A and B are shown apart, each in its own frame.
Chain A
Amino acid sequence: GAVVSQHPSWVICKSGTSVKIECRSLDFQATTMFWYRQFPKQSLMLMATSNEGSKATYEQGVEKDKFLINHASLTLSTLTVTSAHPEDSSFYICSARGQGRSFYTFGSGTRLTVV
């Protein structure tokens, strides 16, 4: 089956530093990648959608300069949280969909703690 590998699974960083989260599709070409944020006991909130080779489309209220998304290849997308602050602490999940596919494959998530 389709697999998306997300790393790291958890990360602790100091306030003001940047953190990069990677999502790789291992056995299919991820033409579209979705990045979500999830607060405890809440639903997934879509942050942005990226298509391979194109600029990401951000949801309203999401700072594109803080959350940099790169989708340079059909198997790799990255989310970089720049100048992280404690309020950026959250659970981040990626989801990939291949062209012509009707299902979405999720990464295992990254728990980010900014101290």
Chain B
Amino acid sequence: AQTVTQSQPEMSVQEAETVTLSCTYDTSESDYYLFWYKQPPSRQMILVIRQEAYKQQNATENRFSVNFQKAAKSFSLKISDSQLGDAAMYFCAYTTLQYTGTASKLTFGTGTRLQVTL
């Protein structure tokens, strides 16, 4: 079974600084997707960034980037120039690729609570 592990329950970063959130996963599949979701106090799940396993290039979305190490099964999220609005719960998630029929479920990590201080 696939598992996703986030070993940092809480992290703190100063405004304008950079922080990296860790995520590791376990799978026997070769094709899959990895995601980082943000859940602010409103509890709306917001997609931050996604990575296709077959792509070697690390995904980037503005201030957010990932370090995807497929062999090590590691998928960390780097937030640059942190802003107060980045304070939230961050979840790493995994799903397998399916091209037909039933969509695969998302497997979530336990989350990392990020605090942003002045």
Contact = CB atoms under 8 A, between A and B. Distances in A.
B107 to A, nearest CB: 8
A34 B110 contact: no
A38 to B, nearest CB: 8
B101 to A, nearest CB: 8
A108 B97 contact: no
A92 B108 CA distance: 15
Interface residues of A, number: 24
Most buried by B among A42, A44, A91: A44
Given A32-B103, A104-B35, A108-B43, 19 more contacts: A32-B102, A34-B105, A38-B43, A43-B109, A43-B111, A44-B108, A91-B43, A93-B43, A93-B45, A95-B106, A101-B103, A102-B33, A102-B52, A104-B95, A104-B106, A106-B44, A106-B45, A108-B44, A109-B44
Nearest to A96: B103
B43 A109 contact: yes
B74 to A, nearest CB: 19
Chain B interface SS verdict (over half): loop
Interface of B: 33, 35, 42-45, 47, 50, 52, 91, 95, 97, 99, 102-103, 105-106, 108-111, 113
A103 B111 contact: no
A25 interface: no
B33 to A, nearest CB: 6
11 contacts: A38-B43, A41-B113, A43-B108, A43-B109, A43-B111, A46-B106, A49-B105, A51-B102, A99-B103, A101-B103, A102-B52
Nearest to B4: A43
Residue of A31, A43, A99 ringed by the most chain B CB atoms within 10 A: A43
A97 interface: yes
Contacts of A44: 45, 91, 108
B117 to A, nearest CB: 20
Q: Which of A38, A106, A108 gathers the greatest number of chain B CB atoms within 10 Å? A: A106
A44 B99 CA distance: 25
10 nearest A-B pairs in the assembled complex, by CB-CB distance: A32-B103, A106-B45, A97-B103, A43-B108, A43-B110, A109-B43, A108-B44, A44-B108, A43-B111, A46-B105
